Structure 1
Amino acid sequence: MKSEDRKETAAGNRTHQGEEPADPIRMTSGHSAETIPTLLDSFLFSHEFMSSNGINQNHVSAFSAVLNLIPFSIVFIDAKDETFCFINKRGLELYKADYTGQTLQFHIDRIKFYTPDGKQLGPTDAPVYRSLKHRETIHNRELILRNEFGDVYCLLVSSAPIYDSGGNVVRAVTTFEDISKLKKIQNLLDSSEIRYRTIVETANEGICWTDSKGVITYINDILASSLGYRPEELIGRHYFDFVLPEDMEKAMTYWKERLAGSSLRFDFRIGKRGGGFIWVIASSTSIRDPEGNYLGSLTMYTDITERKRMEDGLAFHSHVLENVQEAICALDKNYRITYWNEAAERMYGWTAQEAVGKYLANVLNVVIKNASVKEITRKLGENSQINMDMVHYHKNGSAIQVYIHLYAIKNPDGNISEIIASLQDITERKKAEEILIRSEQHLRKNEKMKDDFISLLSHELRNPMAAISAGIELLDLAEKDDKYRETLEVMRRQTEQLGQIVSDLMDVSRLIRSKIKLHIVNTELNGLMLSIAKSYRSLFEKKRVSFHVRLESGPLYIDADPMRLEQCIGNLLHNAVKFTKEGDSVLLSTRKEASSAVISVTDTGYGIHTDAIADLFEPFRQGYAVGESAGPGLGLGLAIAKGIAELHDGRIDAYSDGPGKGASFSVTLPLSQKGGVSAAPADAAEAKNGSVLKILLVEDNKDFVSLLSSILIQMGHSVFIAYDGISGLREARRVSPDILFCDIGLPGISGFEVAKRIKEDPQLRNIYLVALTSYASKNDIQLGEASGFDLYLPKPITIKKLREVLSTCFFRS
């Protein structure tokens, strides 16, 4: 068969799995698959062809010997009867049996082929079958062969059909190259490479290879990502690209030392993408060939950015600690000194060299009991820090008052590893505190003396005032002419004014000492203002001052003490009466502003000096633009009003355009969050004329008893009298009174004890008990309530108030 015809025929044949046709099958020996079939076709198997060319059997034997020398297996199969017609020496070793003359089916039954992933080939997929039956040429296909004895080989298999001159397949040739050892070596190499890559890629250190010119040829992911890149972005770049300009000179020095063959270890900064840098420790090794030529470098990088930051921080803090004015020392867990700054040296007289290594207690010259040390350690373990004051001693023996702050540093297990102590000399501060304490004690003593004086003054004034007031009320019940009536009115007005002054003194004293307790109830403000306006209207009418009330259209509910709020607004109205003249006007108004209620008292009177408004609410201050015409007073009303407003979480403001332009006072109070439904209580009904009550007076002031009993008798009531506590109890059991008026400061037993015994006595416990006394402090009132009094009234008492009390008792009974 001519060469051109053979190539043409081969080009028309199919190849295995789409492989290009007519490619020579390369073998380890260098022979091609095309050469071997041609030789065998010409010299080995065609006797007619060999005879026509004069080739004898010696040539065939020689060529067979040559095929036996080839270092891989060769097998020929005759297409006519599908038998093995030649197997070389290597093939026999592979099969461990001679299949020459055996059929292809005999071979398929005994020899099994598998793909590298372990899948067994079917009989029709064997390479020799594909070449013989389907004219396929197969190139170096990797397969696994298992012979009939169980031996396994990894092979590169090539197979091709052999054609006669007519283009018919007459034989097939198959070669098997044993690559089992190569595969084992390859697997070992692959395993080594995987281990190497795994180590490099998973290492906590950055790793980089550079060539002889400093160009990056490999960089692992941890180093690349720490710089803000992917590894492939850095391959091919020079490592100088990442050197900071200010470090370039140092980098060039390292480069020269690397070229000289040195292994280097140095701290260095590497620039990051987008700016910034990381600090690293670079350990670099030069790589050289056997002749000593420099090939490149392998460098490992350890990120020490955080360490550098901590070192810089420690350096900074050390500098700070050495320059602060406060003594600082560090202690180990056993309270042994490990650090002692300059301020500590100055404070205690011990140098750092002398102090470090010693126990803190020994340096401070103090004795600390083991129990105290354990307690300190326990508290540090729980809270990490504690504060305390102690007395330490200087090296020279002088005492130092010290404020100590201890802070515990703990290891990951939560145990104390170190203690930082801040030591502040507070000797001078302690001396100042002692002076302040003594001053405060002195002030408290003076304050108590003042309060005692006011209380005593109030008591001593109330008793004669009570008698005078009772006398006036008694005279008022008698027949009298106009002159007589006018005199009584003057006496009544002056007595009431004196009583108000005493009450104001007591209230301002309580406000200053925060001793007033509010009785908060939900109150409708407009109703309360109407009630207050009704009480004060007559004062304005007498002075011929117009008085108007303008209220918010809807209800305004506040949480307040109605009695104290009436006192607050009453003081403002009383001020308006004092500082207006005939023809002026006063407006009492309410309005809602956001979540607050505002009560305003506005007048067109004398006005206020603008520079006096700031001090207007201070006790004993008056800033109105008037002289003597304003009338008497101590200047306590506005101070009391301000105190009451603030007790209600409110405020009071004053405004005036100046003298002659009037003034306005506004009290702002928070609206109730609960709304409200309560209304101002109705006035107590007075007892009907002729309704007789049995009344017992227990009072040691005989003048007051005489006058008060006369008033009560003229009202139509039965009156009984006792001048001390024991007599009062005896008289109460005898007459069983409806109501008992009792003084507190009685001979023998006090009024508190009288009330307590009455409430404990089943026969007497229903008596309506009223304390009528000059003892009117907050503590006195609380004691009265605790003792059992139903009502606690300060002297003096007016006829109106007396009637209200009697009316309450009448309806109660």
Structure 2
Amino acid sequence: MQRLVDHGEQFQIEKRCLRKDGSIVWLHNSASLLADAAGQPAAAIVVCTDISERQHAEAALRESTDWLRLIIKNAVEYAIFSTDLDRRVTSWNSGAERLLGYSESEALGQLADMIFTPEDRAANAPEQEARAALDGDGANDERLHQRKDGSRFWASGATMAMQDGRGATVGFVKILRDQSAQRASQQALEQSRTELLSALQENENARAALLSADEAKDRFLAVLSHELRNPLASISSASMAVSTGRLSPEDQDRAARIVQRQAQIMKVLLDDLLDVSRLRLGKLALQTRILPLSTVVESALETAQALVDNGGHVLEVRLPERPVLLDADPVRLAQVLSNLLSNAARYTPAGGRIVLHAELRPPRVVIVVEDNGIGMEPATVESMFEMFSQSSHATDRGSHGLGIGLALARNIVHLHHGEIHGESDGPGRGSRFTVELPLAAMDEAMQGAAPRPEAGMPQVLIVDDNADVTWSVARLLTGCGVATADTGSQALQLLEQQRFDAVVLDLGLPDMSGFEVARAIRAHPLGAELLLIAATGWGQENDRRMAREAGFDAHLVKPLDVDELKKLIFRRRPQ
């Protein structure tokens, strides 16, 4: 009041006052002078306003602000910081220090863009985030962020515009949390789910493959039964007719041809089954040599010609004018081409056209077998190379086969480092199968020239306890002098008495095994010059190995192919 009297200045003050009841009240006092007519101070006016509620509210606000500051400072699991409108850091909590690696003093005043990866900065991600925070209720994101040391981590963040008491935007506040562990767990969960689904799919595929294999097995057994019964029935009927003794010579010849033809069919079926076994065991070996393609084609034509003729087809063969030399197994490669030719004959209506042509495309030769037959859906062509697979028309056309020919052909071609594939433009539009094989080097071809046969008649000893076998083979070996023996000891006696060029030896003799006889022959002073040929019903690779170890030069499977036997004898005449 003295100030008011001395200086006449109005003043205001806020202070605590004590009520009559002893309680405290906050008052806002405003004091001013009242002057008289002469302008001299005459009185004072004091206005007191109770401001207790406002003081309490301000105290509560200060307390909550302090608490908020403490909470932000100690929220170490969250990076919480604020920036101005230029995105420069204005506050930086301990969680931001821990998570991002920058101390508060290092971060203050710096662009908050520093926590973004270079790729996101180049893509203007900080500007886009700030713009989204200004335009809406905030910007949420999940992305890789970068620490002070350059390491990266996955974090989820929220950026919000910060406003003052008047509602004006003064900056941004960002809250960031490390989600690396959660993301890794989520990715691991997704990976486990993917692997589980993959395992379930593999299991389903395996189950489907097992069912398919089971169906293929049943189908194969049914076809095998059918294909074996047909030739057996023909052989049985022909032999019964012969046994009556009432057949004319012409009918006897026809019966013999029936037995030979049907026996050959059964031999092909059994050979195919053995080849499948060798394939499954990985023991289908090749006996390669340098030979002309024309030799292979001729052998294939010999096998398939009967089917072609029976169907009344026109067969055209076109080979290059110059010799085409291959380093190949002649038997196996002829098996491939004869299979393609036989299929063409079976699946082409009577009077059709079949073409086998070859073209040189160094360093390979391309062999094509095509027909104008029933064809197939293009989508089913590749499945024809699967084991036991047959055309849907196989049963209707009464074809012989177990559905393994093309599968064997593909494996044989692959063993020759070649390729085979089929094509068809659709049902009724024929089929085309192409075989590509590498050519043989010329110097190898010269070294592989076949030896010239010697003049004179080779002497052959046939040893077998089956008289039917020795009788028939002896009469078919034209151009050879033939002697026979039905035991091993008898064979050894004959070898002491007579000079032979070749011995065809059954392995299952009554007195000693063919292996023992072979070893005894090789131990003889003249035994090294002999051509020893094993003749047996066993044709597995192990049987062939045992024959080689016993000293045999060749291993033939019964029934004997006499033409092949002749080739061996004339090719290997000792000097």
TM over 0.5, shorter chain: yes
Hey, what's the Cα distance between the residues in 2 that align with 1:277 and 1:657? 57
Match of 2:88 in 1: 247
Match of 2:574 in 1: 812
| 2:334 corresponds to 1:566 | yes
Hey, what's the Cα distance between the residues in 2 that align with 1:601 and 1:647? 20
Match of 2:461 in 1: 695
| 2:473 corresponds to 1:705 | no
Q: Secondary structure of 1:607's partner?
A: coil
Contact 1:732-1:764 at 8 Å conserved across structures: no
State the structure with more CA Rg. Answer: 1
Deviations 1:604-635 (A, max 9, x none): 23434556534323333331646554443323
Report the alpha carbon displacement of residue 570 of structure 1 after superposing the two structures with TM.
1.3
Candidates 479, 483, 487, aligned match of 1:719: 483
Contact 1:687-1:803 at 8 Å conserved across structures: no
| 2:561 corresponds to 1:798 | yes
Report the alpha carbon displacement of residue 797 of structure 1 after superposing the two structures with TM.
1.4
Report the alpha carbon displacement of residue 693 of structure 1 after superposing the two structures with TM.
1.1
Report the alpha carbon displacement of residue 547 of structure 1 after superposing the two structures with TM.
1.4
Hey, what's the Cα distance between the residues in 2 that align with 1:681 and 1:533? 23
Hey, what's the Cα distance between the residues in 1 that align with 2:290 and 2:482? 39
Distance 1:651 1:692, change over 3 A: closer
Candidates 416, 430, 433, aligned match of 1:665: 433
Hey, what's the Cα distance between the residues in 2 that align with 1:273 and 1:267? 11
Q: Secondary structure of 1:668's partner?
A: strand
The one-letter code matched in structure 2 to 1:584 is: G
Distance 1:759 1:250, change over 3 A: same
The one-letter code matched in structure 2 to 1:705 is: T
| 2:399 corresponds to 1:622 | no
Aligned residues: 394
The one-letter code matched in structure 2 to 1:574 is: S
Deviations 1:52-82 (A, max 9, x none): xxxxxxxxxxxxxxxxxxxxxxxxxxxxxxx
Match of 2:550 in 1: 787
Match of 2:149 in 1: 308
Contact 2:460-2:480 at 8 Å conserved across structures: no
The one-letter code matched in structure 2 to 1:484 is: Q
1:647-666 matched pairs, under 5 angstroms = 647-666=415-434
Hey, what's the Cα distance between the residues in 2 that align with 1:586 and 1:276? 72
1:726-805 matched pairs, under 5 angstroms = 728-729=491-492, 731-747=494-510, 749-805=512-568
| 2:256 corresponds to 1:488 | yes
The one-letter code matched in structure 2 to 1:754 is: V
Hey, what's the Cα distance between the residues in 2 that align with 1:609 and 1:684? 49
Report the alpha carbon displacement of residue 573 of structure 1 after superposing the two structures with TM.
1.4
Match of 1:603 in 2: 371
Deviations 1:364-405 (A, max 9, x none): xxxxxxxxxxxxxxxxxxxxxxxxxxxxxxxxxxxxxxxxxx
Report the alpha carbon displacement of residue 585 of structure 1 after superposing the two structures with TM.
1.7
Hey, what's the Cα distance between the residues in 1 that align with 2:342 and 2:267? 15
Hey, what's the Cα distance between the residues in 2 that align with 1:541 and 1:683? 34
Match of 2:160 in 1: none
Hey, what's the Cα distance between the residues in 2 that align with 1:770 and 1:502? 21
Match of 1:578 in 2: 346
Hey, what's the Cα distance between the residues in 2 that align with 1:550 and 1:755? 46
Report the alpha carbon displacement of residue 770 of structure 1 after superposing the two structures with TM.
0.3
Deviations 1:748-801 (A, max 9, x none): 653234323432443422221001111111221122223221111111113423
Candidates 242, 248, 273, aligned match of 1:505: 273
Q: Sequence identity, in percent?
A: 26
Hey, what's the Cα distance between the residues in 1 that align with 2:444 and 2:85? 75
The one-letter code matched in structure 1 to 2:574 is: R
Deviations 1:127-167 (A, max 9, x none): xxxxxxxxxxxxxxxxxxxxxxxxxxxxxxxxxxxxxxxxx
Contact 1:608-1:624 at 8 Å conserved across structures: no
The one-letter code matched in structure 2 to 1:812 is: P
Contact 1:580-1:606 at 8 Å conserved across structures: yes
Report the alpha carbon displacement of residue 641 of structure 1 after superposing the two structures with TM.
1.5
Q: Secondary structure of 1:309's partner?
A: coil
Contact 2:290-2:448 at 8 Å conserved across structures: no
Distance 1:758 1:590, change over 3 A: same
Contact 1:523-1:676 at 8 Å conserved across structures: no
Distance 1:799 1:672, change over 3 A: closer
1:13-92 matched pairs, under 5 angstroms = none
Contact 2:324-2:439 at 8 Å conserved across structures: yes
Report the alpha carbon displacement of residue 565 of structure 1 after superposing the two structures with TM.
1.2
Match of 2:282 in 1: 514
Contact 1:578-1:631 at 8 Å conserved across structures: yes
The one-letter code matched in structure 1 to 2:260 is: R
Hey, what's the Cα distance between the residues in 2 that align with 1:727 and 1:582? 54
| 2:310 corresponds to 1:546 | no
Hey, what's the Cα distance between the residues in 2 that align with 1:521 and 1:589? 22
Distance 1:323 1:582, change over 3 A: closer
Report the alpha carbon displacement of residue 490 of structure 1 after superposing the two structures with TM.
1.9
The one-letter code matched in structure 1 to 2:531 is: Y
Q: Secondary structure of 1:771's partner?
A: strand
Distance 1:308 1:703, change over 3 A: same
Deviations 1:585-612 (A, max 9, x none): 2110112458643211112234345565
Hey, what's the Cα distance between the residues in 2 that align with 1:277 and 1:610? 53
Hey, what's the Cα distance between the residues in 2 that align with 1:576 and 1:567? 14
Contact 1:527-1:680 at 8 Å conserved across structures: no
Contact 1:755-1:769 at 8 Å conserved across structures: yes
Structure 1 stretches of 5 or more lacking a match? 1-242, 252-263, 279-304, 327-342, 344-425, 473-479
Hey, what's the Cα distance between the residues in 2 that align with 1:489 and 1:512? 35
Distance 1:569 1:789, change over 3 A: same
Match of 2:358 in 1: 590
Contact 2:87-2:113 at 8 Å conserved across structures: no
1:385-534 matched pairs, under 5 angstroms = 481-521=249-289, 524-525=292-293, 528-529=296-297, 532-533=300-301
Report the alpha carbon displacement of residue 481 of structure 1 after superposing the two structures with TM.
4.5
Q: Secondary structure of 1:812's partner?
A: coil
Hey, what's the Cα distance between the residues in 2 that align with 1:734 and 1:269? 117
Hey, what's the Cα distance between the residues in 2 that align with 1:322 and 1:598? 57
Contact 1:528-1:680 at 8 Å conserved across structures: no
Deviations 1:392-444 (A, max 9, x none): xxxxxxxxxxxxxxxxxxxxxxxxxxxxxxxxxx9xx9xx99xx9xxx9xx9x
Bigger relative contact order, structure 1 or 2 (CA pairs below 8 A, ≥6 apart): 2
The one-letter code matched in structure 1 to 2:470 is: V
Hey, what's the Cα distance between the residues in 1 that align with 2:117 and 2:540? 76
Match of 1:638 in 2: 406
Hey, what's the Cα distance between the residues in 1 that align with 2:278 and 2:501? 34
Distance 1:748 1:318, change over 3 A: farther
Hey, what's the Cα distance between the residues in 2 that align with 1:586 and 1:679? 35
Hey, what's the Cα distance between the residues in 2 that align with 1:537 and 1:648? 25
Contact 1:686-1:804 at 8 Å conserved across structures: no
Contact 2:376-2:427 at 8 Å conserved across structures: yes
Report the alpha carbon displacement of residue 568 of structure 1 after superposing the two structures with TM.
0.6
